[in-house]
Amino acid sequence: MVLRNMAEPVLRPSRAFSLPNMLTYGRIAAIPLVVGFLFWPGDAMMRWYALALYTLAGITDYLDGYFARIYAQSSSLGRMLDPIADKLLIAACLLMLVADNTIASWSIWAAIVILSREILVSGLREFLAEVKVSVPVSRLAKWKTTMQLVSVGFLIAGPAGDALLPKGATVVIGLILLWIAAGLTLVTGFDYMKASMRHLIESDEG
């Protein structure tokens, strides 16, 4: 029998390759594929492929947090990558939907509001991380994320959805939900800014 030196470190799998992190990596890897499918806006099947992959990516957003909790596999890498993966997925899809005129005219402002808020909050989080301050995600912010995901899903289906709903209904529903998501985005962005302002002021005074 070989006795192991008790001082010898125990090798454990890196948390970088834990199940929650692997799901997050998969969500990031799905982004160029979704974008690729949306490059064929006139092909209904490509729209359905994009929607299927987008939906799968959205499901992993729930599963990575669920598995991180039940298996106690939360990690700093995962906490950093998870919101980044969400923002990249939404941003890439919004840009493609604007490019193919699924999102057009005044509705482009809803997309601009969503993207601008995400950039603002990302900058605030980077600053607050430097001063070791954490602002918890509110329930309303979670609803905002859900509304964004659902609205973009309807818009990805776009004209292909006419096979299931009355002509144009899929895009109309998606745009209505997108404006609701933009409204929630403004409210949660203001709340985050207000919660962060005290630390910003204290940092300047210090």
pLDDT digits (tens, 9 = 90+) for 132-147: 666 666 788 888 888 9
Angle at 196 between CA 192 and CA 201, to 5 degrees: 150
Taking the C-alpha atoms of residue 154 and residue 127, their distance in angstroms, rounded to an integer, is 35
Sign, CA dihedral 109-33-177-192, equals negative
Q: Which residue has the higher pLDDT, 95 or 201?
A: 95
Write down the domain spans for the chain.
15-205
Sequence-distant (≥ 6) Cβ neighbours of residue 56 within 8 angstroms: 30
Residues 50-86 pLDDT 10s: 999 999 998 888 888 777 788 777 777 777 788 888 8
Kindly state the average pLDDT of the residues 96-106.
93
pTM of full prediction above 0.75: yes
- DSSP letter for each residue of 146-190: HHHHHHHHHHHHGGGGGGTSSTTHHHHHHHHHHHHHHHHHHHHHH
- Asked if residue 189 lies in contact with residue 121, where contact means CB atoms within 8 angstroms, the answer is yes
Look-up of token digits 């604007």: 98
Residues 6-23 pLDDT 10s: 444 443 445 777 888 888
The number of beta carbons lying within 10 Å of the beta carbon of residue 47 is 22
* Topology (CATH level 3) of domain 15-205: Four Helix Bundle (Hemerythrin (Met), subunit A) (1.20.120)
Helices (H), 71-137: 76-99, 107-130
